[in-house]
Structure 1
């Protein structure tokens, strides 16, 4: 959310070279109310960001641990087969362009893999991708991003994905990766199928039986989704804090400009009244 000026902020309110004081007062009141709202939202986002970063750090430990297992086993995506793309966004806006960045990254993947299916977490990316790629969407989840993600939520999402009728050889999870408080970028993390795990060159060294393999695949998928949701949530809170901070600064600049306009208009009105009084007094003396 941002407030911007293009040109002179007073121009929309000038009538016969003067804006009425009532119009300017009304505009100032509206902008001050907006500034209060954006400042409050900035404070709320700052408070939530600290909790979100702690949850992100916890989830990242588990996610990177799973990735290390597959790295040691030299697991790679299968060169052919059906692909499912999981997009981890949220239901909330007012946080800059982080959702549109995810949608753009997903569209780039779909250009290379036009037959891939989409599972979208969150209403924001669902709305964007429904317009451009409705034929690819097979599953969506609402109510995402209301609070800090939990592993139980990720596990429930993973269970629904595993119940899809299609068999997926490759799964790719697209989410916002947290770099700094003002920097985040779309990232892709694979979640491997049983066939891809079995095809790993060094997986036999782990001595995992068939039952454990199924549990490993299910756990690694839920783990990756949890990591994506937690890190995406931290990016969202950081982006919302920055957006509200920019909106508050823009509102402050607008208030300053309108306050100057108000003072000048009020001074002009007072000067005009004084001229009328002096002119009237002079006319009375002459008569």
Structure 2
């Protein structure tokens, strides 16, 4: 009498247990998707805010860059008219300029790669690094060639006083050099930049230049002129690098926001499908139970 009842109830219980397990799994998956969706939305808000901040800083950096280029243009005009002859035995000192901050794409790597290529071409040369990012990259490959390093670069728009302080430190503790080559990111447009090199010659090369031999010049004058020229070129490199960094950071944050939007759309679709599947399973259970009754 009771055997047929047991044989009927047991499969029904098994089906109910399986349905509950599937429902729990579905709800757990929905919770995970919901948490991930909330996390990606928060990230998207942060990247949008950082893009707005970078856009504001870029406008200020471009104004400072136009002023800094005037210093560098006058400096290059001086060296081009001096008639300085290249010497194959000249001691070369490199200066790599970027900053300490990240979240700006591969802008630091472009300077580091250019510096590594230059050091490989001149193994006897040494390098001075402005910024923690290129220092970390270059010190792994060529730690013995680093002469000096500076940090706290790029937090705000660089000033000529900062460039003059760096130039004074290079002249005092940078060692002997005949030619100094500055590697920095040249600002081309709001979406592009490239690693470029500017050259400053030493005091001895200035004294021996044809354009300066025509005048009576004391040794201190050529030394002061070299330091002032170095400060001018450093200032141009700092402000151009700062503008390029803000441009790269804005582009990187824009790309991150677009990727976050794409991920939000995909997760939202996945969440809606999972929620629809859970509701469908619940309706099937209700209809099945009603039919059994």
Say yes or no: TM over 0.5.
yes
How many equivalent residue pairs? 270
Distance in 1 between the 2:90 and 2:205 partners?
Answer: 11
- Match for residue 62 of structure 1 among 62, 71, 76: 71
Residue 33 of structure 1 aligns with which residue? Answer: 42
With the length of structure 1 as denominator, give the TM-score of the two structures: 0.90
Q: Which runs of 4+ in 1 moved over 6 A?
A: 15-19
With the length of structure 2 as denominator, give the TM-score of the two structures: 0.88
The alpha carbon displacement at 1:77 in A equals: 4.2
Residue 81 of structure 1 aligns with which residue? Answer: 90
Distance in 2 between the 1:232 and 1:76 partners?
Answer: 29
1:91-147 CA-partner distances (Å, limit 9, x unpaired): 001101011110110111111100111100000000000101101001000101111
Residue 203 of structure 2 aligns with which residue? Answer: 194
- Match for residue 161 of structure 1 among 170, 179, 193: 170
Q: Secondary structure of the equivalent of 2:210?
A: coil
Q: Which runs of 5+ in 2 are unaligned?
A: 1-23
Residue 4 of structure 2 aligns with which residue? Answer: none
Residue 107 of structure 2 aligns with which residue? Answer: 98
Distance in 1 between the 2:119 and 2:260 partners?
Answer: 40
Instruction: Tell me whether 1:183 sits opposite 2:192 in the alignment.
Output: yes
Distance in 2 between the 1:109 and 1:229 partners?
Answer: 20
Instruction: Tell me whether 1:114 sits opposite 2:112 in the alignment.
Output: no
Distance in 2 between the 1:76 and 1:92 partners?
Answer: 39
Instruction: Tell me whether 1:283 sits opposite 2:292 in the alignment.
Output: yes
Q: What is the RMSD of the two structures over their aligned residues, measured on CA atoms?
A: 1.7
Farther off after superposition, 273-282 or 69-78: 69-78
Q: Secondary structure of the equivalent of 2:187?
A: strand
The alpha carbon displacement at 1:224 in A equals: 0.7
Distance in 1 between the 2:111 and 2:186 partners?
Answer: 11
Alpha-carbon contact 2:94-2:180 (below 8 Å) kept = yes
Distance in 2 between the 1:77 and 1:42 partners?
Answer: 45
Residue 52 of structure 1 aligns with which residue? Answer: 61
Q: Which structure is larger by alpha-carbon Rg, 1 or 2?
A: 2
Distance in 2 between the 1:206 and 1:180 partners?
Answer: 42
